[in-house]
Chain A
Amino acid sequence: MNRRPWALGAVVALVFLFLYAPIAWLAVASFNSSRSLSRISGFSLRWYAELADDTRVFASLQLTLQLALASAAISTVIGTLAAFGLRRAFPGRGLWTVLLSLPLVVPEVVMGVAMLGFFVKLAGVPLGFGALLFAHVAFSLSFVVVVVRSRVSGVDARMEEAAADLGASPFVAFRTVTLPLVAPAVAAGAAFAFLLSFDDVVISSYLTGVGSTTLPVFVYAQASKRGISPEIVALSTLMVAATALLLIIGVVVASWRARRAGSVTRLA
């Protein structure tokens, strides 16, 4: 095997360039002194200042955060249960798999118009927070199940048997052995669900009611009239910066803990 994959490394670097080019451009443009996104005319913090004063943006940001947190919480709990339900083979598991793969592959526009028709015409659910929450959980659930399930299937059943042999009740064995093993996947699933809800435009745009506009829908409506506002560019920059910072802290803490755990084992 090629030990120094320079060519592969170069391709990967190009893909990362592709992924980060627009983000980097957003960061640059957020400090632009004019409204234009394509031509940089000077440095200014004007858009950050305007963002800080924009109450409408903050109102919809608050609603979007509440919605994303609620949606992530519900889909993580019931999605994790479902992932455990699929752990061992049983008659009908194939059918469940098909049902669970539907939200992953049905185009958003189809889900959006379907939910609009259903909520408005039949179920009598008023458009707004409730309808949005029902919809967001419905399209995030499957992502949680997929992520958690991949980890659950990797858990060695003998570990749980060992816990049972040592006198642990099924509940204690689950809480002290199984759950810590799948916890990273549950966290990843929760983050995934949060992100899907937080950034959804298409489905939400059909289900927002008066006074319950999520941030992406607000941005979309505003942008289709007069282009994207530089305030939103500033907000996006802040969000990416915050995520990157959290990630770096996570990596540093993880490697610090690994090193400490390593030295403890060596001592013992």
Chain B
Amino acid sequence: MLRRWLKANALLAPTGLWLGFFLIAPLVVVVQFSFATRHTGVARAVLPWTVQAYRTALDPAFLPIFGRTLLYAGVTTAACLLLGFPLAWFIARYGGRYRTALLAAVLIPFWSSYLARIYAWKALLDGEGLVNTVLGWVGLDRDGGFLLTHGAVVLGLTYGFLPFMVLPLYVACERFDVRLVEASYDLGHGRVSTFFRVVLPGVMSGVLAGSLLVLVPAAGDFVTPKLLGGVEQSTFGSVIDDQFRGGNNWPLGSAMAVLLLVLVVFVLVLRGRRGEDVL
């Protein structure tokens, strides 16, 4: 037993050290910064300790931004589930020997520059872009196109995070024993009740893992909302970014980062041990 413990920890040690030094320590520093006093100089966060940054961060003025961020993240996760599940199910069940190729086909678009893809959407959603032109043929076009809307931001986020939903869902769908569906039909369940009572619980670990991989990173993304949305669509991530890049208020930015971390921990606790085998 002790030997096994030592062996496992020896194998994990390099990873543990790396993450300890370059991830955990920085996160601890952020927590420390969040209690510091603002200072505009080379030392951007100094003593004395204070909770002023949190008071500012929780100011009602920031609440709409926080709410909007969570809404974007939630809708994005739901959209990724709705698009990702049929895809994962299809590849796992009907992909046959083309499974790997189909999975790779899902990932290929992500080998182009992320920014180029976002700018492509920007061009497509533009007032004179392809989407508006095509919708114009059936009279559904919108003056000025679809940029600077909530829809544009959610679309961009969904596009960007879809693979993170598809991969864990695919793993779960592949493991799912399809004979259970036949058994359910044989026992007189319809399609809908089979889906909710047999399929969904069967792939739940994938659903949870995928949602986790989409929800929290989507809540922190600021590049997509910045490029596809406008001031009205700014998110918590962009406020944090502003504090570090432009505003030079490191304590406030850190306090906000800690609030996002609290959200991460909350979601992790909520998930508990479910879906751990997939992620």
A→B interface (CB under 8 Å): 1, 5, 8-9, 11-12, 15-16, 18-23, 25-26, 29, 36-39, 78-79, 81-82, 84-88, 90-94, 96-111, 113-119, 121-123, 134-135, 137-139, 141, 145-146, 150, 153, 195, 199, 201-202, 206, 215-216, 219-220, 223, 227-228, 232-233, 235-237, 239-240, 243-244, 247, 250-251, 254-255, 258
- Which residues between 62 and 109 of chain B lie within 8 Å of chain A, taking CB atoms? 83, 86-87, 89-90, 93-94, 97-98, 100-101, 104-106, 108-109
B90 touches A219 (CB 8 A): no
Q: Compute how far the CA of A232 lies from the CA of B120 in the bound complex, rounded to whole angstroms.
A: 11
- In the complex formed, the residue of A with least CB distance to B217 is A107
Tell me, yes or no, whether B135 is within 8 Å of chain A by CB.
no
State the main secondary structure of chain A at its contact with B. helix
- Please name the residue on chain A nearest to B240 by beta carbon: A109
Contact A85 B8 (CB under 8 A): yes
Chain A residue numbers with a CB within 8 Å of B14 are: 78, 81-82
B86, B181, B237, B241 — which one has the most chain A CB atoms within 10 A of its CB? B86
Cα-based distance from A150 to B276 in the complex (angstroms): 11
Interface size on B, residues (CB 8 A): 94
User: How would residues 7 to 49 of chain B score, 1 for a CB under 8 Å from any chain A CB and 0 otherwise?
Assistant: 1111110111011011111110110010000000001010000
Verify if B257 is at the interface (C-beta below 8 Å from A): yes
- Whether B115 contacts A228 by the Cβ 8 Å rule is yes
Q: Is the CB of B23 within 8 A of A96?
A: no
Please determine whether B220 and A110 come into contact, CB atoms closer than 8 angstroms.
yes
- CA of A74 to CA of B51 in the docked complex: distance in angstroms? 39
- Tell whether A114 pairs with B26 under 8 Å between CB atoms, given A38-B124, A206-B244, A227-B119: yes
In this complex, the member of A84, A101, A135 whose beta carbon has the largest number of chain B beta carbons within 10 angstroms is: A101
Docked complex Cα distance between A178 and B21 (Å) = 31
Docked complex Cα distance between A251 and B29 (Å): 47
Distance, CA A235 to CA B27, complexed state (A): 35
Q: Is B137 an interface residue (CB 8 A)?
A: no
* A45 CB, nearest partner CB in chain B, Å: 18
